[in-house]
């Protein structure tokens, strides 16, 4: 056994972590902004996500049991009563919290924070305790209650870049990590150290017909998201829980009258 | 101490061992029944669930934890009185413990096992459950020690190990007694079980201090186990679960339901195994007083929980509270309050404490209440979290209900097997309580 | 295998557990010889045109290993600009739908039986070709009828040529979503057949009369983009939107102000606004007096009484509309589906005219001549033609009916009796990819390629202010034994013989499209210098679109006030059914998910929560909360909704943003066929719509029926994702203190 070796590497690594500026070397902090003043609740993002990430078609019965899987969903909130009634939409997806409540929950490290600031989920590692989903205040984690199948030949559509999940596994929004990877690979091929702003576009952001969503690296002060985040309308959902989400919403503006 | 006159040493041996040595058809029928119920109600649905997925249960996006987890907590709770009580009473030198503790400890063991089964049933991919143990693996990955579930794994395995050793250690002299009273294979088997116990003064001395040491060791362990189980909930930020009071609340509730469980088991032992001579009024009375005290503590903590939710005043907590007190499951909540807070008050009256039948009823009601309590914890908090748009509802499926019923059969089966293998009452410690016989008597 | 099975029975039990865990065997594709048309692991994108509604968005389809994986908007296409709606993205479900027709089918016994037997293409085409050929020779070609959806571009021209060469002028188009009233009103007001370009993007103040421009009206993706820009695209300037409709649509939810005028009086409200606008003196045109006298009757007080919108609101909105630098009024939805549809839309046009919104940024631009000249031959569009067709079929005047991309059996009101009329047609041929209600009535089904497997071209309508044409190309090889619609038409032409094969010499649709584009190339010179046709074709094909942004419409002929003024009358819709018998107004509406029902067979859309209600899988009838409370109706109570035309049973849904006295129902569900995802799901509100027509456009007035509701006492679970739809004081939609 090389316990000794393991220990010394561990100590070495730990020392590295303590070095000031160590974390600055991690280049990216993927962030999304969603402008609720642009969002119309059309749900184009929902289908885009379903197509990109191989989300199952669960069927009517299982939908009735609330077993649907939608990594991004639109929440609806009414305000007031007829005739002064208003509707507010808010797209809800994994917030990729920096202080994620779900991450402490998993006993097997199936969910953890990666170096890009993403809250990742490793399907193969998951044993299905579902603790992460209970802990998640945004309720954006979805569980494979069954092994879902596709009616032939719908399975031909499945995205080969994304795993198809089996029963007993938790899943959630990944910020389209496969697209992030592709962009990083492309950057590497082009001998670029960094991915350009706008090079990574998750499926939901890409599809949004009102351009309500923006995605990018908030460590880059010139990135579109960094500028959007400075908007005075910006806020994070359930701020009081101090989860420090990576999604900044821009509040719906009201007409001045 | 003894309701029907003091037995002699030989009578003690005979009374207690006869349960093990003589087996009638009624036993086999009972065992057969419990085993079939366990298979039909527990293992077959579970197997079905393994094939189709956890979706066979009623859980959904609104409640990722369901009856399986609430049952897990219930069984862990039930396990709490046995070893803990036995250890505390051992240290405090309460003589009435001696005819009760063996069965109580067995209860601990079997409830823990049943509880562990529920973890298996709960998991989405139970075939990978070993990943939650710190086993060196090819993935080079350790479990997440920040996870309360990881604490659970540690706490429960430790508790299970400690309880097993504790009950075994206390049984060694009795195994020797079985060995001496039997012949053939059984004798050879119990020779091994008893580690060659001869009953020398040195052996008694060693057993004495080792046992006391373990008793001291087990007490904090037991307290920690249910505290840790409560952290599964309390470490989440879910309204209705995120309470600092949860650890003492769970520990108290656990001992409470465990003690009530002991009363039930005592009743059965006394009734069906003819232990009237050894389990008498004094035990019942003492257990009754203990239960009463626990019920008062439990009620107090319960009020505290409600109060802190209300006093906190956050929309999240208030909504969860409202749902608990007035929502769909409100009848269950008030049933729990009735059974666990009000019914036990009857034990203020000696009339109730001294009646086996009344105490049986109260003890069963308490455990029904405690089972409900655990269910309410999972069923009312998760569907009312932070985003109202994701509010929902949880109702257990038939599979879950069936497995819940089956778990009682599993427990009963294990207990029935236990009474044939281990003296259900500690022979040597009962003897210690006998008044020394005078030659002239 | 057998000996292993017998010998290891015991092992099998042990393995069973493991089997249950990993059932699906994953097969690796053996690729010793690399495929020539793609590189494994590398995605390629092909540009083509979306066919999920009539907007004509350009799309890019991602192909991996010869399979279509994802549809996104074509970034260089001026309509979609890289964006796409839910329906467009669900196009993959059309391609890979498990219920697609995979080979030519012949009706086995009777039409009602719905059972079909497979036949060969040759046999099918010969059967049809010889029959039509005989009719042509006999001089009875007019007994051949063609019915299609809103077919445009090359396919439309091919159909038109086919029919005119055949000698039948009965080429009918019917699309429920076709804005017939809008076209008619624009013809009256602006003398334009083409739809104009509504410049929502640069508007400050958008007044929408029933037009759900964010979900279903004309070109939703384009308008959504424009809406985003209107709201937050300009620094320090946020456009306002006001929506007038009895039931809040997606656009209503997005609007700053939602006004539920009395159904059918939206046109009157527009006149009231025009009156007020004129009175305030912001219009200074030379025809001011004519307008003033025409609008004289529509005083705010009178309009307020009729429309149930307060005088204050009318005055205020008129003022805001007039004062905004770039205001725009649009009309659609139920406003353009009453018996007064054209009058209402003309009134809205008048509002634009009076506010000076024509040819202004943020107003209405007229589109220049389309890239392709109008196709030869004639075609009828709209409801009147359908009634004529049904009548002709009923009378036995139709011998061959060819149906393509149209589902009148589902989309027409029951009392048109289209299904029954089809019984009288000896040969019904369906060119279709799916067994929808109309296809199931056919004698012969010729399975078509989906749009993702077909050649074609398209000129988006409404356009974007400059000439644009798109090419659609097959992005994957055909999955089954199917043919592109164009190829079927050409093959039929060859079999019919006579003049047809000579005048339609193209072997395939691809050849036809290329020839068409060559003609277009030859006819144009500007902007194409130094580019030979092949380069032009290649570039257009790669881009999926060709356009000339520099070119705008010539000086528009100024709209005729006289024509508009003449068309203003009759601003209130007449409803079928007596108010005392039928106290509610039935408000059917197009949904963002299924549109008129064509999307109902796509599982992604069935599983997509309806944007306003979050309901999936099924239909419902909406009631105002107060109304529901009065009637003792809760969500999930099955209601019998009855109109003079019929009745359906449908669960109730309480909808906060619905005018009392209106019962709203989504269009799109209630299919009796159309595949596993659509069949027997919910109710079809078209079964409730009384057959009424707006004479001026000849279009169906589908929003002019009264209804009554009765609680049947049964209950049916409405499946929806919403839990509680109130924030309960939680700051989910943003902090309470207003920064903006």
Calculate how close chain C gets to A151, using CA atoms only, in Å.
6
Calculate how close chain B gets to C658, using CA atoms only, in Å.
20
Interface of B with A (CB under 8 A): 52-55, 58-62, 64-65, 122-126, 128-129, 131-132, 139, 141-144, 146-150, 152-153, 232, 235-238, 382, 385-390, 392
Report mean pLDDT in 10-residue bins for chain A, 257 residues: 70 80 71 95 95 95 93 94 92 94 92 90 93 94 94 93 94 95 90 87 95 92 92 92 94 75
Q: What's residue C27's pLDDT?
A: 54
Calculate how close chain A gets to C72, using CA atoms only, in Å.
7
pLDDT beyond 60 at C16: no
The burial of C255, by beta-carbon neighbours within 10 Å (0-12 exposed, 13-18 middle, 19 or more buried), is given as: buried
Instruction: Identify the residue whose tokens are 């974390």.
Output: A23
- Report the distance separating Cα C187 and Cα C315, nearest Å: 29
For chain C, positions 17-46, list CB contacts with chain A under 8 A: 22-24, 41
- The DSSP result for C488-514, as a single string, is HHHHHHHHH-TTHHHHS--SSHHHHHH
- Report the distance separating Cα C636 and Cα C621, nearest Å: 10
| HSE-up (13 A, CA, CB side) for residue C101 | 29
Residue in C17, C18, C723 nearest the CB of B389: C723
Helix H or strand E encompassing A45: helix A44-52
Q: Give the pLDDT band (50/70/90) at residue C8.
A: very low
Instruction: Kindly give the pairing relationship between strand C705-715 and strand C584-589.
Output: antiparallel
Calculate how close chain C gets to B315, using CA atoms only, in Å.
7
| Chain A, chain C: beta-carbon pairs less than 8 Å apart | 234
The total domain count for chain C is 4
Residues of C with Cβ-Cβ distance to B388 under 8 angstroms: 723-728, 730, 732
- Report the distance separating Cα C152 and Cα C373, nearest Å: 12
Contact A127 B60 (CB under 8 A): no
Please tell me which residue of chain C has the smallest CA distance to B50: C20
Query: Which residues have a Cβ under 8 Å from the Cβ of B233 and sit 6 or more positions away?
Result: B241, B242, B246, B377, B381
DSSP structural state of residue C332: -
Average pLDDT of chain C? Answer: 88
Average pLDDT, integer, range C465-492: 92
pLDDT digits (tens, 9 = 90+) for A183-234: 989 988 998 878 889 999 999 999 999 999 999 999 888 999 999 999 999 9
In this structure, the answer to whether residues C205 and C319 fall within a common structural domain is yes
Percent of chain C exceeding pLDDT 70 equals: 92
Whether the ω angle into residue C462 lies within 30 degrees of 0, i.e. cis, is: yes
Quick check: is C733 in a domain? Answer: no
Interchain contact B394–C (C-beta under 8 A): no
- Report the distance separating Cα C416 and Cα A228, nearest Å: 54
Residues of B with Cβ-Cβ distance to A169 under 8 angstroms: 124-125
- Report the distance separating Cα C660 and Cα C247, nearest Å: 10
Chains that touch B (3 or more CB pairs under 8 A): A, C
In this structure, the answer to whether residues C281 and C345 fall within a common structural domain is yes
Contact B150 A142 (CB under 8 A): no
Q: Give the pLDDT band (50/70/90) at residue C236.
A: confident
Average pLDDT, integer, range C471-478: 93
Q: Give the pLDDT band (50/70/90) at residue C287.
A: confident
In this structure, the answer to whether residues C196 and C307 fall within a common structural domain is yes
Interchain contact A76–C (C-beta under 8 A): yes
Q: What's residue B437's pLDDT?
A: 58
CATH of the domain at C707: 2.40.40.20
Q: Give the pLDDT band (50/70/90) at residue C23.
A: very low
In this structure, the answer to whether residues C185 and C327 fall within a common structural domain is yes
Q: What's residue B424's pLDDT?
A: 83
Q: What's residue C561's pLDDT?
A: 83
CA C705 to chain centre: 22
CATH class for the region spanning A21-250: alpha beta
| Chain A, chain B: beta-carbon pairs less than 8 Å apart | 146
In this structure, the answer to whether residues C610 and C629 fall within a common structural domain is yes
Q: Residue C328's closest CA among C226, C259, C228, C247?
A: C226
Q: Which residues partner with A213 through β-bridges? A: A34
In this structure, the answer to whether residues C544 and C590 fall within a common structural domain is no
In this structure, the answer to whether residues C119 and C212 fall within a common structural domain is no
The two structure tokens encoding residue C560: 């005729």
Domain of C54 in residue numbering reads as 32-79+455-482+509-525+534-552
Q: Residue B283's closest CA among B180, B383, B339, B359?
A: B359
Q: What's residue B72's pLDDT?
A: 94
Distances (CA, A) of C286 to B293, C282, C291, C327, C558: 96, 13, 10, 21, 13
Q: What's residue C528's pLDDT?
A: 66
Q: Which residue has the higher pLDDT, C667 or C194?
A: C667
pLDDT beyond 90 at C193: no
pLDDT digits (tens, 9 = 90+) for C422-435: 999 999 999 999 99
Q: Give the pLDDT band (50/70/90) at residue C416.
A: confident
Chains that touch A (3 or more CB pairs under 8 A): B, C
Q: What's residue B140's pLDDT?
A: 76
Q: What's residue C18's pLDDT?
A: 40
Tens of each residue's pLDDT in chain B, 441 residues: 455 567 777 778 887 888 787 888 989 999 999 999 999 999 999 999 999 999 999 999 999 999 999 999 999 988 887 888 888 888 887 777 777 888 888 989 999 999 999 999 999 999 999 888 888 877 777 889 899 999 999 999 999 999 999 899 989 999 998 888 888 888 999 999 989 888 899 999 999 899 888 888 888 888 888 899 999 999 999 998 998 899 999 999 998 998 898 889 888 888 887 777 777 788 888 889 989 999 999 999 999 999 998 998 888 999 999 999 999 999 999 999 999 999 999 999 988 888 889 999 999 999 999 999 999 999 999 999 999 999 999 999 999 999 999 999 999 999 999 988 888 888 888 887 776 655 544
Calculate how close chain C gets to A201, using CA atoms only, in Å.
12
- The DSSP result for C625-666, as a single string, is HHHHHHHT--TTEEEEEEETTEEEEEEEEE-SSB-TTEEEEE
Contact by Cβ (8 Å): C670, C682: yes
Whether the ω angle into residue B388 lies within 30 degrees of 0, i.e. cis, is: no
Q: Residue C718's closest CA among C625, C620, C629, C648?
A: C620
Residues of B with Cβ-Cβ distance to C20 under 8 angstroms: 50-51
The structural domains of chain A, with segments of one domain joined by +, span 21-250
pLDDT digits (tens, 9 = 90+) for A226-235: 999 999 999 9
ipTM: 0.91
In this structure, the answer to whether residues C65 and C170 fall within a common structural domain is no
Q: What's residue B358's pLDDT?
A: 92
Please tell me which residue of chain A has the smallest CA distance to C316: A257
Q: What's residue C367's pLDDT?
A: 83
Calculate how close chain A gets to C502, using CA atoms only, in Å.
40
Interchain contact B220–C (C-beta under 8 A): no
Q: Which residue has the higher pLDDT, C544 or B431?
A: C544
Q: What's residue A2's pLDDT?
A: 56
Q: What's residue C41's pLDDT?
A: 83
CATH of the domain at C387: 3.40.50.740
Contact by Cβ (8 Å): A141, A172: yes
Instruction: Identify the residue whose tokens are 């219930």.
Output: B74
Beta-sheet strand order (sheet of C67-73): C44-49, C58-64, C67-73
In this structure, the answer to whether residues C543 and C601 fall within a common structural domain is no
Handedness of CA A141, A146, A147, A151 (dihedral sign): negative
Quick check: is C88 in a domain? Answer: no
In this structure, the answer to whether residues C75 and C162 fall within a common structural domain is no
In this structure, the answer to whether residues C235 and C351 fall within a common structural domain is yes
């Amino acid at each position: 056994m090389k316990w000794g070796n393991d220990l010394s590497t561990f100590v070495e690594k730990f020392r590295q972590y303590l070095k000031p500026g160590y974390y600055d070397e991690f280049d990216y902090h993927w962030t999304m902004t969603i402008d609720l003043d642009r969002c119309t609740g059309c749900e184009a993002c929902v289908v885009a996500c379903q197509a990109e990430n191989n989300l199952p078609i669960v069927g009517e019965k299982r939908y009735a049991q609330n077993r649907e899987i939608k990594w991004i969903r639109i929440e609806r909130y009414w305000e007031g009563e007829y005739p002064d009634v208003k509707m507010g939409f808010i797209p809800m997806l994994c917030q990729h919290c920096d202080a994620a409540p779900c991450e402490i929950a998993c006993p097997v490290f199936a969910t953890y924070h990666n170096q890009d600031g993403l809250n990742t989920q490793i399907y193969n590692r998951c044993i299905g305790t579902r603790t992460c989903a209970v802990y998640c205040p945004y309720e954006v984690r979805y569980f494979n209650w069954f092994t879902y199948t596709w009616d032939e030949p719908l399975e031909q559509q499945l995205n080969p870049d994304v795993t198809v999940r089996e029963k007993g596994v938790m899943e959630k929004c990944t910020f389209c990590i496969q697209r992030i990877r592709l962009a990083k690979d492309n950057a590497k091929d082009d001998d670029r150290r960094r991915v350009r702003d706008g090079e990574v576009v998750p499926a939901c952001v890409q599809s949004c017909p009102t351009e309500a969503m923006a995605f990018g690296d908030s460590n880059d002060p010139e990135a579109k998201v960094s500028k959007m985040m400075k908007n005075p309308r910006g806020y994070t959902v359930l701020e009081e829980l101090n989860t420090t989400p990576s999604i900044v919403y821009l509040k719906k503006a009201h007409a001045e009258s | 101490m003894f309701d029907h006159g003091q037995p002699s040493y030989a009578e003690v041996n005979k009374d207690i061992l006869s349960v093990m040595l003589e087996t009638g058809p009624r036993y086999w029928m009972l065992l057969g029944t419990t085993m079939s119920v366990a298979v039909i109600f527990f293992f077959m649905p579970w197997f079905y669930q393994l094939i189709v997925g956890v979706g066979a249960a009623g859980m959904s996006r609104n409640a990722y934890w369901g009856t399986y987890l609430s049952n897990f907590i219930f069984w862990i709770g039930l396990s709490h009185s046995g070893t803990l009580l036995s250890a505390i009473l051992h240290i405090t030198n309460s003589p009435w413990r001696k005819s009760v503790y063996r069965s109580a400890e067995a209860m601990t063991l079997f409830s823990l096992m049943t509880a562990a089964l529920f973890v298996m049933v709960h998991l989405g991919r139970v075939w990978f459950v070993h990943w939650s143990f710190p086993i060196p693996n090819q993935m080079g990955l350790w479990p997440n020690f920040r996870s309360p579930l990881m604490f659970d794994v540690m706490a429960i395995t430790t508790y299970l190990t400690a309880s097993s050793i504790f009950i075994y250690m206390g049984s060694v002299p009795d195994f020797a007694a079985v060995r001496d009273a039997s012949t053939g294979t059984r004798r050879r088997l119990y020779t091994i079980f008893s580690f060659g116990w001869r009953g020398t003064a040195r052996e008694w001395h060693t057993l004495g201090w080792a046992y006391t040491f373990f008793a001291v060791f087990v007490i904090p362990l037991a307290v920690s186990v249910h505290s840790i189980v409560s952290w599964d909930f309390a470490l989440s930020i879910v309204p209705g679960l995120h309470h600092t009071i949860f650890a003492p609340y769970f520990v108290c509730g656990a001992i409470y339901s465990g003690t009530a469980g002991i009363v039930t088991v005592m009743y059965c032992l006394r009734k069906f195994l003819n232990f009237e001579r050894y389990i008498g009024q004094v035990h019942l009375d003492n257990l009754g007083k203990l239960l009463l005290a626990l019920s008062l503590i439990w009620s107090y903590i319960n009020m505290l929980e409600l109060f802190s939710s209300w006093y906190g005043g956050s929309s999240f907590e208030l909504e969860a509270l409202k749902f608990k007190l007035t929502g769909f499951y409100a009848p269950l909540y008030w049933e729990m309050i009735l059974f666990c807070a009000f019914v036990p008050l009857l034990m203020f009256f000696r009339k109730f404490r001294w009646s086996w039948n009344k105490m049986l009823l109260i003890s069963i009601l308490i455990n029904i209440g405690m089972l409900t309590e655990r269910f309410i914890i999972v069923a009312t908090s998760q569907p009312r979290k932070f985003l109202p748009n994701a509010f929902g509802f949880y109702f257990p499926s038939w599979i879950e209900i069936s497995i819940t019923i089956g778990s009682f059969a599993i427990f009963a089966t294990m207990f029935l097997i236990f009474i044939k293998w281990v003296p259900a009452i500690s022979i040597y410690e009962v003897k210690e309580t006998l008044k020394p016989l005078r030659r002239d008597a | 295998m057998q000996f292993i099975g017998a010998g290891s029975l015991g092992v099998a039990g042990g393995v069973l557990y493991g089997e249950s865990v990993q059932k699906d065997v994953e097969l690796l594709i053996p690729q010793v010889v690399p495929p020539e048309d793609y590189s494994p692991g590398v995605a390629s994108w092909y540009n083509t045109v979306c066919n999920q509604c009539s907007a004509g968005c350009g799309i890019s389809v991602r192909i991996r290993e010869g399979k279509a994986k994802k549809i996104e908007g074509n970034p260089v296409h001026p309509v979609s600009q890289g964006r796409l709606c839910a329906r467009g993205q669900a196009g993959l479900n059309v391609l890979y739908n498990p219920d697609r027709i995979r080979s030519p089918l012949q009706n086995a016994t009777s039409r009602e039986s719905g059972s079909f037997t497979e036949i060969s293409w040759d046999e099918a085409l010969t059967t049809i070709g010889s029959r039509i050929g005989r009719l042509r020779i006999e001089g009875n070609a007019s007994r051949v009828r063609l019915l299609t959806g809103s077919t445009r571009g090359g396919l439309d021209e091919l159909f038109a040529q086919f029919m005119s060469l055949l000698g039948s002028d009965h080429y009918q188009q019917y699309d429920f979503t076709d804005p017939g009233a809008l076209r008619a009103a624009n013809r009256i007001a602006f003398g334009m057949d083409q739809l104009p370009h509504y410049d929502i993007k640069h508007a400050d103040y958008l007044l929408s009369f029933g037009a759900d421009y964010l979900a279903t009206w004309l070109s939703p993706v384009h308008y959504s983009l424009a809406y985003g820009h209107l709201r937050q695209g300009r620094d320090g300037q946020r456009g306002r939107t006001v929506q007038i409709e009895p039931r809040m649509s997606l656009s209503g939810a997005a609007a700053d102000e939602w006004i539920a005028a009395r159904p059918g009086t939206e046109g009157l409200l527009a006149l009231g606004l025009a009156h007020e606008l004129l009175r305030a003196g912001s219009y200074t045109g030379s025809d001011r007096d004519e307008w003033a006298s025409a609008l004289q009757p529509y005083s705010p007080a009178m309009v307020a009484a009729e429309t149930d919108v307060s005088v204050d609101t009318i005055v205020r909105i008129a003022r805001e509309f007039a004062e905004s630098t770039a205001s725009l009024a649009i009309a659609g939805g139920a406003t353009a589906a009453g018996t007064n549809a054209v009058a209402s839309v003309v009134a809205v046009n008048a509002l634009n005219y009076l506010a000076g919104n024509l040819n202004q940024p943020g107003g209405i631009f007229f589109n220049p001549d389309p890239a392709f000249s109008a196709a030869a031959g004639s075609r009828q569009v709209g409801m009147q033609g359908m009634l004529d067709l049904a009548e002709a079929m009923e009378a036995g005047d139709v011998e061959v009916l060819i149906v393509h991309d149209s589902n009148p059996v589902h989309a027409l009101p029951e009392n048109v009796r289209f299904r029954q009329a089809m019984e009288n047609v000896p040969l019904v041929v369906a060119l279709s990819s799916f067994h929808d209600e109309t296809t199931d009535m056919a004698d012969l089904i010729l399975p078509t390629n989906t749009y993702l497997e077909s050649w074609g071209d398209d000129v988006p309508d409404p356009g974007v202010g400059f000439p644009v044409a798109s090419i659609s190309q097959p992005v994957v090889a055909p999955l089954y034994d199917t043919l592109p619609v164009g190829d079927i038409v050409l093959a039929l032409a060859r079999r019919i013989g006579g003049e047809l094969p000579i005048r339609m010499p193209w072997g395939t649709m691809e050849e036809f499209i290329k020839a068409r584009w060559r003609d277009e190339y030859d006819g144009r010179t500007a902007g194409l210098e130094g580019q030979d046709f092949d380069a032009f074709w290649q570039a257009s094909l790669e881009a999926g679109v060709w356009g000339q942004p520099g070119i705008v419409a010539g000086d528009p002929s100024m709209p005729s006030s006289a024509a508009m003024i003449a068309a203003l009358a009759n601003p209130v819709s007449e409803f079928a059914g007596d108010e005392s018998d039928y106290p509610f107004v039935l408000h059917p509406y197009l949904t963002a998910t299924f549109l008129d029902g064509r999307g109902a067979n796509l599982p992604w859309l069935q599983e997509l929560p309806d944007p306003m209600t979050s309901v999936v899988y099924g239909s419902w009838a909406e009631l105002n909360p107060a109304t529901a409370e009065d009637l003792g109706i809760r969500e999930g109570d099955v209601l019998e909704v009855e109109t003079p035309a019929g009745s359906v049973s449908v669960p109730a849904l309480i909808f906060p943003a619905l005018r009392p006295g209106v019962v709203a129902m989504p269009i799109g569900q209630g299919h009796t066929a159309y595949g596993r995802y659509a069949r027997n799901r919910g109710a079809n509100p078209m079964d409730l719509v009384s057959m009424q027509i707006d004479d001026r456009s000849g279009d169906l007035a589908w929003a002019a029926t009264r209804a009554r509701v009765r609680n049947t006492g049964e209950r049916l679970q409405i499946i929806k994702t919403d839990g509680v739809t109130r924030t309960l004081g939680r700051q989910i939609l943003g902090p309470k203190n207003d920064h903006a």
